[in-house]
Amino acid sequence: MQERAVLHLFYSCGLRRNEGEALNARDVHFAQRLLYVRSGKGAKRRVVPMPAQVAADLENYYMQERADHQERAFMLNKTGGRMSGQGYQGVLSELLERAGLPPGTTLHHLRHSIATHLLASGVSMELLREFLGHSCLETTQIYAGISRQQLLTL
């Protein structure tokens, strides 16, 4: 369940590594299907909508795998403390190895992937910018892996 939760945080929710590290249990609202990023890049805050399955999987992790519900952090490491960026990357690396995929995919690659996939499914560039928490539309274009031809048709 923890592995699925990690994938959801960094792919489905598009979190940055430091946002995952800072995520507290109070920031994830399962019933409302919202995740609050309270300390994003440049001290920006944003609200990330979660599909029903993402909210359900995160709730399952929280309710079933967290031994200490008193800890403020949403994601806990093996010793019960707040999960670090290195810990998140370790979970992803283990998944890649078990799946027989080459190493090297990072949490940041997951963020780029969701941007590209959302754009390809028809999400507007402005909504994508808000989802990712970017100040500048140009940054979002880089994240989304937009080709020159795609830019001409926007």
Is position 36 annotated as part of the catalytic site?
no
Per the residue annotation, which of 26, 45, 72, 108 is the catalytic one? Answer: 108
Annotated catalytic residue 108: yes
Residue 51 has phi, psi (to 5 degrees) of: -60, 160
pLDDT along the chain (154 residues), means of 10: 94 95 95 91 85 96 80 89 95 93 89 88 90 85 61 50
Q: Is 49 helix (H, G, I), strand (E, B) or coil?
A: strand
pLDDT at 148: 45
The active-site residue, picked from 8, 66, 111, 129, is: 111
111 counts as catalytic: yes
| Choice among 8, 16, 66, 129 that is catalytic | 16
pLDDT of residue 153: 53
Q: Residue 147: what pLDDT? A: 47
What domains, with CATH codes, occur in the chain?
Answer: 2-153 (1.10.443.10)
**Cα–Cα separations (whole angstroms), residue 82 to 9, 18, 86, 106, 109:** 15, 12, 11, 19, 22
Q: What is the pTM of this model?
A: 0.86
Q: What is the pLDDT of residue 136?
A: 84
The Cα 54–Cα 20 span in angstroms is: 15
Active site residue 8: no
Catalytic residue flag (residue 61): no
